[in-house]
Amino acid sequence: MNHKENTELSQNISEEFSQDMSRKKKKQARAALSFIVMAVLLVGLFFAAVNIGSLKVSFSELLRGLFVERIDNVATIWDLRFPRIIISMLAGAAIAVSGVLFQAVLKNPLADPGIIGISSGASFVAVLITAFAPTLFFFTPLFAFLGGVLAFFLVYSLSWKGGLSPLRIILVGVAVNAMFTGLSSALNSMSGGNMSGVASIVNGNITMKTWDDVQTLVPYVVVGLVLALVFCGTCNLLSLEDKTARSLGVNVNTMRIVISLIAVLLASISTAVAGAISFLGLIVPHIGRILVGSDHRALIPFSMLFGAFTFLLADTIGRTIAAPYEVPASIIMSVVGGPFFIILLRRSKKYAN
Amino acid sequence: MQINENAKPAMEVRGLSFAYGKNKVLKDVSLKIEEGKITTIMGANGCGKSTLFSLMTKNLYARKGKIFLRGKNIQNLNLKEFAKQVSIVQQYNTSSDDITVERLVAFGRTPHRKPMQGKSEEDERLVEWAMEVTGILEYRDREVSRLSGGQRQRVWIAMALAQNTKILFLDEPTTYLDIRYQIEILELVRKLNNEFGITIIMVLHDINQAIYFSHQVIGLKDGLVEFQGSPEEVIDRQSIHSLYGIELDVTQIDGKKFVLTV
């Protein structure tokens, strides 16, 4: 190779190198911007949601009512709207992160705690407890968790056939989901369909939530989300082939079980309080990957923000769209999420056949 | 790197047997992997070489027989301890679409990291070194999914190098590559052995590549070791016939054995 060719080659290389650099910088900038915009949107939506409804307070009134003096309107809003807003945000964050974790563990971008039956398993057991052992009501989240574990165990073991085919997981999950949803509905009908606790779990109704429900939800969700953050590096390693991850000293099977349990915890707890929510755990991580990339160290925190935002938005739309009647947020999610899921299925080459 | 003649073997396999159900794949295999040498396992399809590879890299577990890493039974080492001493480039690899070369190579530091700890200076130095040795520094910020097959294989080797081990396993590292990249990868493997004294154990399909690039070859047939030694000693018309069941001429070019594979 002569000298001229050599310099040309190195010029080419440095040009490509700087192209790569600028691509990387652009991506980083987009991710940072996405975080900022999402945080601002969430705060904005929060204050909007506080103010949407028959009672209205100005921003300064709200601040004064919360921190300085008692204002009747603000006190009412504090008791009625704040719990559902906080529950919406916590449940949204939990379900979205649960989706991210399931997708990492199952190596399947279509895995969603709603679609694969985790939420309905959790809600069925929660319904059982509410209907037959109301004295154990306080432990509902724990039983919901057991229900979620049961559903996950069913899906995992039934779709295992010398390996996990992404499509088989979805199909088995749909069947498990249908079964548990059916069982819950049957139970609801048999009990006359008017047990408010049962109905609220089945329909994902968060109208009548109080600060007690917030208290039930907070510790579990916080623990689950913190654990998710602790394991985000491991989620990245699970994107490698199992053998390769093992060669890096990662005990893949153990990690799968641990991360699955975190995901089931997050999905079940939010189901126990806010009802079964479908598609949220699918839509949020998918858009999140486009905006901040598939590095879980960014994707998981972003999904928390975005999940909180999306579910609060669904809830807020649900209670304004046909006021004074309310459409449950989970129903809004299903209506929007269904078509989204179909688009994903059609666009994805891997799962089309 | 000086090689001590009396050194213990880097790895040793003693009386290893393995079966999938009733199908016996390995029957009493014993062998030694010399420190600082390139050893290639060869044999026909179904001879048990993949199984042997999996057993030696802790991806399978044998009920009969033992495998020693510098005198220690690898059964008594957990995956992390093993990964600090042995790195492995698997035959088939996938990664997420948008991961960059540098981040993927940095995964190689995983066994040396403590939980909840950031990158150390040594981590950064070794990642840099691994990318430099494999000639992928200029792609460091590019997504792995946008690289060619040959470049990608270098990235996986760099990830294994970042583990900073003295033993490197490669499972058919040239399988999905054009001939040019096959040679490039094998030259790289030789360089790793020459310059850094890394003990190499690999599985290769191509007989001549195995002969040309290895200090020691191990021929497996029906779950038994057919031959073991330097290619000059053990490769001839007869041993090739017993290994692959086909008569091929063996000649010598520049003192190296060469099997006429057509």
Q: How far apart are CA A64 and CA A58, in angstroms?
A: 10
Q: What percent of chain B has pLDDT over 90?
A: 79
Which among B87, B97, B98 is the nearest to A247, CB-wise? B87
Q: What is the mean pLDDT of chain A?
A: 85
Confidence tier at B211 by pLDDT (50, 70, 90): very high
Is a pLDDT exceeding 70 seen at residue A7?
A: no
Q: How far apart are CA B100 and CA B201, in angstroms?
A: 28
The predicted pLDDT at position A71 comes to 82
Best mutation site among A248, A258, A289, A299 for testing chain B: the one with the most B CBs within 10 Å? A248
CA distance A231 to chain B (A): 9
CB contact, 8 Å: B258 with chain A?
no
CA distance A32 to chain B (A): 16
CA distance B104 to chain A (A): 9
Helix axes A329-347, A280-292, angle to 10 degrees: 60
The predicted pLDDT at position B67 comes to 96
> If DSSP codes are grouped into helix, strand and coil, which group holds residue A150?
helix
> If DSSP codes are grouped into helix, strand and coil, which group holds residue A317?
helix
- Of these ranges, A73-77, A102-106, B254-258, the one predicted with the greatest mean pLDDT is A102-106
Spatial CA neighbour of A89 closest among A325, A260, A274: A274
- Least confident range of A189-193, B78-82, B179-183: A189-193
Is a pLDDT exceeding 60 seen at residue B137?
A: yes
The predicted pLDDT at position B3 comes to 45
* Cβ–Cβ below 8 Å for B83 and A249: yes
Q: Residue B11: what are its φ and ψ, rounded to 5°?
A: -140, 150
Here the tokens at position B153 are: 């294989």
- Least confident range of A156-160, A196-200, A323-327, B246-250: A196-200
Taking the CB of residue B151, how many other CB atoms lie within 10 A of it? 18
Q: What mean pLDDT do residues A252-269 have?
A: 93
Confidence tier at A352 by pLDDT (50, 70, 90): very low
- Beta strands B224-229 and B64-69, pairing class: unpaired
* Cβ–Cβ below 8 Å for B93 and A249: no
What DSSP designation does B38 have? E
CB contact, 8 Å: B176 with chain A?
no
Confidence tier at A113 by pLDDT (50, 70, 90): very high
Best mutation site among A12, A239, A247 for testing chain B: the one with the most B CBs within 10 Å? A247
Q: What mean pLDDT do residues A277-302 have?
A: 93
Is a pLDDT exceeding 90 seen at residue B117?
A: no
B245-254 LR contacts (CB < 8 Å, sep 24+): B245/B44
Confidence tier at B130 by pLDDT (50, 70, 90): very high
Is a pLDDT exceeding 80 seen at residue A115?
A: yes
Taking the CB of residue A245, how many other CB atoms lie within 10 A of it? 22
Taking the CB of residue A352, how many other CB atoms lie within 10 A of it? 9
Spatial CA neighbour of A53 closest among A265, A338, A241, A315: A315
Is a pLDDT exceeding 50 seen at residue B2?
A: no
**What is the chain A residue with the closest CA to B100?**
A24
The predicted pLDDT at position A203 comes to 54
Q: How far apart are CA B213 and CA A51, in angstroms?
A: 74
Confidence tier at A8 by pLDDT (50, 70, 90): low
> Which burial class, exposed, middle or buried, applies to B42 when counting CB atoms under 10 A from its CB (0-12, 13-18, 19+)?
buried
pLDDT tens readout for residues B47-68:
999 999 999 999 999 889 999 9
Per DSSP, which regions of B21-118 are E strands?
A: 23-33, 38-42, 64-69, 72-73, 86-89
* Cβ–Cβ below 8 Å for B92 and A246: no
Confidence tier at B183 by pLDDT (50, 70, 90): very high
Residue A197, strand partner residues: none
Confidence tier at A204 by pLDDT (50, 70, 90): low
- Beta strands B224-229 and B216-221, pairing class: antiparallel
What DSSP designation does B226 have? E
> Which burial class, exposed, middle or buried, applies to A157 when counting CB atoms under 10 A from its CB (0-12, 13-18, 19+)?
exposed
ipTM over 0.85? The verdict is: yes
* Cβ–Cβ below 8 Å for A293 and B98: yes
Confidence tier at A194 by pLDDT (50, 70, 90): low
> Which burial class, exposed, middle or buried, applies to A113 when counting CB atoms under 10 A from its CB (0-12, 13-18, 19+)?
buried
Element (H, E) at A162: none
pLDDT tens readout for residues B13-45:
999 999 988 889 999 999 999 999 999 999 998
Q: What is the mean pLDDT of chain B?
A: 92
Per DSSP, which regions of chain A are E strands?
A: none
Which among B58, B97, B111 is the nearest to A294, CB-wise? B97
Is a pLDDT exceeding 60 seen at residue A196?
A: no
Q: Residue B37: what are its φ and ψ, rounded to 5°?
A: -115, 165
What DSSP designation does B113 have? P
Q: How far apart are CA A112 and CA A283, in angstroms?
A: 9
Contact A127, A180 (CB under 8 A): no
The predicted pLDDT at position A321 comes to 85
Here the tokens at position A328 are: 């449950």
